[in-house]
Amino acid sequence: MLETRTQPLVSSADEDFFRVVRAGFVAKRKKLRSALAAGLALDKVAVEVMLQRAGISPDWRAEDLSCPVATNYECLATARQAVMSVL
């Protein structure tokens, strides 16, 4: 049986979250490091910092992430904000 949440994992107004998710899927079969670097116009070192803060391997592909790991996308959006403030 499918259980629905009373509150979504992320707000539909969370622009950074959806920007990161779209960037992860920008190119099929690319590893997250390359896909996010291209989709967010960042260098790969900054992307690796984001991924480390989110607890996601840079060698994973976006399509490899599953629902239990989906909350890491929210962490990734937060990490992106931190990286952008430094760059």
pLDDT tens per residue, range 36-55 = 999 989 899 988 888 887 77
Q: What pLDDT is attached to residue 82?
A: 65
CA 65 to chain CA centroid, Å, is 10
pLDDT band at 59; cut points 50, 70, 90: very high
Tell me the CA distances in angstroms from 13 to 1, 17, 30, 53, 82, one per residue in order.
Answer: 28, 9, 27, 23, 19
**Residue 71 pLDDT greater than 70, yes or no:** no
> Cα–Cα distance between 72 and 53 in angstroms, integer?
9
- pLDDT digits over 5-37, tens only? 787 766 665 777 778 888 888 887 899 999 999
Task: Supply the pTM of this predicted model.
Answer: 0.65
Q: Tokens for 65, please give them.
A: 């992430």
